[in-house]
Amino acid sequence: MTHPKEEQTLIIVKPDAIHRGLLGEITTRFERKGLKIIGIKMIQLEDALLEAHYAHIADKPFFIGIKNFMKSSPVVVMVLSGINAVSATRIIVGPTKGYEADAGSIRGDLSLSIQSNVVHSSDSVEAGKEEVARFFSKDEIFNYKKFDFAYIYADESF
């Protein structure tokens, strides 16, 4: 990170978004907000990674359905960085249940489901750190200074 207050958060563009051709729109929303993409790749998720990522629900009866859904096509994972990046992305993404998400949010505009809710977003700063480390090696993260940083963040952010 190039600023001490910057946070990192993980985004997973899920299979439903990939099949519906929403990658560009989703990425654009984060960039328009001013978040910096510091890592991005397309991957095919495997059981071990999904079991680690969803360890908190791995014992639930619906987990097998989530696992099969997440393996149904490649996904795009990205690391976003910025001051208050975790809370900013949670607002942009909207609540988990797409049918409860406000218009203007990614899920509010593009989802009506709980499982097929287009994106995953880290829910805390700590989760962001853990999830980024789970999906990205250090050499896949690119810390760089964006030239528009001073125009996105006012003096009160420093």
Backbone angles phi, psi at 145, to 5 degrees: -90, 125
Residue 34 lies in a domain: yes
The CATH number that applies at residue 76 is 3.30.70.141
Q: How confident is the model at residue 76 (pLDDT cuts 50, 70, 90)?
A: very high
Helices assigned H by DSSP within the chain: 15-19, 23-33, 47-53, 63-70, 85-93, 106-110, 125-135, 149-152
% of the chain beyond a pLDDT of 90? 85
**Residue 2, pLDDT above cutoff 70:** no
- Number of structural domains found in the chain: 1
Domain-located, residue 153: no
Does some domain include residue 24? yes
Q: Does residue 43 lie in a domain region? A: yes
Over residues 25-57, the pLDDT tens digits come to 999 999 999 999 999 999 999 999 999 999 999
Q: Please report whether residue 152 resides in a domain.
A: no
The order of strands in the sheet holding 119-121 is: 36-43, 75-83, 6-13, 119-121
pLDDT at 100 over 90: yes
Query: Considering the domain boundaries, does residue 158 fall inside one?
Result: no
Q: Is residue 151 part of a domain?
A: no
| Per-residue pLDDT at 145 exceeds 90 | no
**pLDDT higher than threshold 60 for residue 1:** no
Domain membership flag for residue 150? no
Q: How far apart are CA 134 and CA 132, in angstroms?
A: 5
Report the predicted TM-score, pTM, of the whole model to 2 decimal places. 0.93
C-beta separation of 14 from 31 below 8 A: no
Residues 6+ apart with CB under 8 A from 146: 36, 152
Domain with 15, as residue range(s), is: 6-145
pLDDT at 158 over 70: no
User: Which band of pLDDT confidence, cut at 50, 70 and 90, is reported for residue 15?
Assistant: very high
> Is 56 designated active site?
no
Q: Among 3, 19, 53, 120, which one carries the catalytic annotation? A: 120
pLDDT number for residue 26 = 98
